[in-house]
Amino acid sequence: TCSGDFPEVRDFFQREGELLRQRRREEFLAAWDYNTNVTEENRLNMIAVSARNAVENLKASQLVRTKKYKELPDPCLKRLAEYAGEIGAEILSSEDFNTMLNAVSSMQSNYANTKVCSYKDPKDCSLTLEPHVQERLSNSRDPKELAHYWKEWYDKAGTPMRDNFAKYIELSNKAAKLNNFTSAAEYWVHMYEDPDFEKNLDDVFQAILPLYRELHGYVRQRLSRHYGEEIVSPNGNIPMHLLGNMWGQQWDEIIDLIKPFPNKPFVDVTAEMEKQQYSVRKLFELGDEFFQSLGMSALPESFWNLSVIEKPKDRTIVCHASAWDFYQDNDVRIKMCTEVDTHYLYVVHHELGHIQYYLQYEKQPTVFRGAPNPGFHEAVGDVIALSVSSAKHLNTIGLAPQAELDEESRINELFRTSLKKIVFLPFAYTMDKYRYAVFRNEIDEHNWNCAFWQMRSEYSGIEPPISRNDSDFDPPAKYHVSADVEYLRYFAAHIFQFQFHKAMCSKAGQYVKGDAHQTLDNCDIYKSKEAGSAFSHFLTAGASRHWTEVLKEFTGDTTMDPAALLEYFEPLRVWLKEENRKEKVKIGWGLTDKVSH
Ligand SMILES: C=C(C[SeH])C(=O)N1CCC[C@H]1C(=O)O
Ligand SMILES: [Zn+2]
C-alpha cells in the first residue's frame, strides 16, 4: 500500500480496505452460487447480499468523501481516496437498487435458460446456445437452417426482455445522475481515465476502417459467389446468419468457405486435439504452463478444485465464460462450458488472463485490485493467445506439422486472424455506441430496435436474415447487454493486445523490425523470462497507477495506439487491396432495409 506520511490516514484505508475485501468476497460467493446453479432462490439470495453490502459500500464511500482525503498532497493516498470514494448504482435507494438488480438478473436468467427448437426435429425444443446452437451457427452451410436458429435465438433471448431492459436503462441513468454524471454513458466513459476517450476511440476506429472495408468487400464477394447473389448481394449488407457467429462479431468459423488460398491445407487444430484425445483440463494445463514458462504465477490448487469448467448435466449454469476473484488466499476460479476445439482453446486463454491479473495484483489495497483501464483486463489472455495460435507455437506443442509458413499459408493465417481481430472492432464499437445513445436518450424508445440494426449496418455492413421491427427487441440476445457488462473494454483490448504483443516479442528476441523472419505474426514469446518479467511488472501494479504510466513502462506507448495492430496485418492489407482491385470487388455498403417501422 502507500508508504510515507499520514499514518492515521494509511491506517484508515487499511481498515476500510479490509472491510471492503470481506464484503466483496461475500458478494462474489453469492453471485458464484447463482451463476453455477441458476435457480430463483440463488438469484434472490445474490440480490439480497448485494443489496445489504450496497448500504455499507455507500457509507464507506461517503466517509472517504467527508474526510476530504482527495486533497491530500500524497499522490498515492490521493489516488486511494479517489478510488475508495467511488460508488456506482449502489447510490440508489434500496428500493431502486433492488429493482435494478432484479431487472438485470432476470435478463441473465432468461439468457441462461433460453432453449430453442431444432431445425431438423421441430418437436425437440431443448437446444441451448452452448453447445448446440453455437455449433450449428459455426458449422451449418444451409442458409435456411441458419436463419431458423438466428430467429429462434433472437426471438427468445431478446424480445421478452424489453421491459427489464427499459427499467435497467432508467435506473442506470438515475444512479449516474446521483453521481453527478449526465448519463450512464459518461459513467462508463469515466472508467477509462482519459478526458478525450470518445475522440480517441473514434480516431482509432477511423484508422482501422480502411482495412475492415477491404476485408468486408472480399468476404462479401466470396460469400456471394458461394451462396449466389439472391442470398448475398455483391454490394449490400452481408446477411449475418451466414458469418459463423450468432452476433456476427467474428467470422473465423466460416474460413473454409472464404480462405484466400483454398488449396493450401489449414492446420485443423480441433481435429488434431481430438486425435490426441485432449481433455478439457488439458486446455487449461496448456495455458497454465504457458504463464509458468514466462516465470509468471501458477494456478493454485484451489483453482482446480473449485472452478466449473464443463457444463453440468444436472443443473443450469450461466455458460458464458467468466473468471472470478474471491479476494482471499488466491481463491480464483473460472466458470465456463468448455468444449475441446480451437474456439474454446482461445476462450480458456482469455479467461486465464483474467486469473493471472488477479494473482499478480492480489497484494494491492482492495480498491487497487483491478485494472487501471478496462481494456487491460480483457487483453492479458488475448496477448498470450496470439503466441499460442502462431504456427510456431502450435508446432512446438505438437498440434501443427510445420513451424514456418510459406507466403500463401501465411496470408491464409493472417486472414483467419483478421476474421477475429479486425471484424470484431466495428462490432464492439457499435455495442456501446448504441448503449451510449440509449442512455443519452438520443433514440426514441419506440425506435430502439430499428436503431440497433441501423447502427450494426452502418458500422459493420451486416444485417439480419429477416426484417426486424419494433415489436422485436434484439439487443439483450447478446450476453453483455443482458448482463449489464460494458463492451468497449473488448475494443480497447483488441488494440492494446497488439501493443503488448509487440513489446513482449521484442523482449523475447522474436521480433525485429524489418526482418522478414522475425515478424509479429510469427512471434511466440513462450519461455521468455524477459517478456514475462516485463508483463508481471505491468500487471502487479493493478490500478495503483494511471494506465498511461504503466503502459509507457511496458510498451513505450502512452495511448491506445492501433499502429502495432496495423503493422501485424500489413501483409494482409497489401494482398487484399491488390486482390480486390484485380477482382473488381465493390467496397462499402448502404444502409440495411431489413428494418421496418
Ligand atoms: C470470453 C469472454 C468473457 Se470476459 C467474453 O465475453 N468475450 C471475449 C471476447 C469478446 C467477448 C464476447 O464473447 O463477446
Ligand atoms: Zn474477458
> CB neighbours of 582 closer than 8 A, spacing ≥ 6?
none
The string of pLDDT tens digits covering residues 19-31 is: 999 999 999 999 9
Question: Under the phi-then-psi rule, with left for phi > 0, alpha for psi from -120 to 50, and beta for the rest, what region is 180?
Answer: left
CB of 259 shorter than 6 A to ligand 1 = no
Active site residue 351: yes
The string of pLDDT tens digits covering residues 457-494 is: 999 999 999 999 999 999 999 999 999 999 999 999 99
Residue with CA closest to ligand 1 atom 7:
490
SS3 235: coil
Q: ipTM greater than 0.90, yes or no?
A: yes
Rounded mean pLDDT, 406-433: 97
Residue 384 has pLDDT above 80, yes or no: yes
Rounded mean pLDDT, 415-419: 98
Q: What is the 3-state secondary structure (H, E, C) of 192-228?
A: CCCCCHHHHHHHHHHHHHHHHHHHHHHHHHHHHHHHC
CB of 427 shorter than 6 A to ligand 1 = no
Pocket test for ligand 1, best of 490, 491, 497 (most atoms within 8 A of CB): 490
Q: How far is the CA of 320 from the centre of ligand 2 (A)?
A: 10
CB of 321 shorter than 6 A to ligand 1 = yes
Q: How far is the CA of 467 from the centre of ligand 2 (A)?
A: 32
Residue 1 has pLDDT above 70, yes or no: no
Q: How far is the CA of 15 from the centre of ligand 2 (A)?
A: 31
Q: How far is the CA of 353 from the centre of ligand 1 (A)?
A: 12
Strand 322-325 to 332-335 pairing: antiparallel
Regarding pTM above 0.95, the answer is yes
**What does the DSSP 8-state code read for residue 97?**
H
Distance, CA of 299 to CA of 359 (rounded, Å): 9
Per-residue confidence at 403, pLDDT binned at 50, 70, 90? confident
Pocket test for ligand 1, best of 350, 356, 377, 479 (most atoms within 8 A of CB): 350
Q: How far is the CA of 382 from the centre of ligand 2 (A)?
A: 9
CB of 380 shorter than 6 A to ligand 1 = no
Cell numbers 488477479 correspond to 358
The amino acid that residue 82 corresponds to is E
> Percentage of the chain with pLDDT > 90?
96
Rounded mean pLDDT, 169-182: 98
Atom of ligand 1 nearest to the CA of 321: 3
- Active-site pick, 241, 349, 350, 480: 480
Q: What pLDDT is attached to residue 70?
A: 85
Atom of ligand 1 nearest to the CA of 354: 4
The string of pLDDT tens digits covering residues 425-443 is: 999 999 999 999 999 999 9
Residue 5 has pLDDT above 90, yes or no: no
The three cell numbers of residue 368 are 487497487
SS3 193: coil
Q: Answer whether 526's CB lies under 8 Å from 357's CB.
A: no
Active site residue 480: yes
The three cell numbers of residue 155 are 426471438
Give the Å distances, CA to CA, from 568 to 377, 405, 418. 21, 15, 10
The string of pLDDT tens digits covering residues 100-150 is: 999 999 999 999 999 999 999 999 999 999 999 999 999 999 999 999 999
The string of pLDDT tens digits covering residues 351-364 is: 999 999 999 999 99
CB of 482 shorter than 6 A to ligand 1 = no
Q: What is the 3-state secondary structure (H, E, C) of 379-419?
A: HHHHHHHHHHCCHHHHHHCCCCCCCCCCHHHHHHHHHHHHH
Q: How far is the CA of 17 from the centre of ligand 2 (A)?
A: 25
| Cα-trace Rg, the chain | 24
Question: Closest by alpha carbon to 544, among 76, 194, 189, 88?
Answer: 76
The string of pLDDT tens digits covering residues 42-92 is: 999 999 999 999 999 999 999 999 998 988 899 999 999 999 999 999 999
Residue with CA closest to ligand 1 atom 10:
490
Question: Closest by alpha carbon to 347, among 291, 294, 389?
Answer: 389
Q: What pLDDT is attached to residue 597?
A: 79
> How many of the other CB atoms lie within 10 Å of CB of 339?
18
Ligand nearest to the CA of 374: 2
Atom of ligand 1 nearest to the CA of 493: 9
Residue with CA closest to ligand 1 atom 4:
322
- Active-site pick, 253, 339, 351, 378: 351
Distance, CA of 113 to CA of 107 (rounded, Å): 10
> CB neighbours of 59 closer than 8 A, spacing ≥ 6?
none
> CB neighbours of 172 closer than 8 A, spacing ≥ 6?
89, 100, 184, 187, 439, 484
Cα pseudo-dihedral 222, 225, 226, 230, rounded to 10: 120
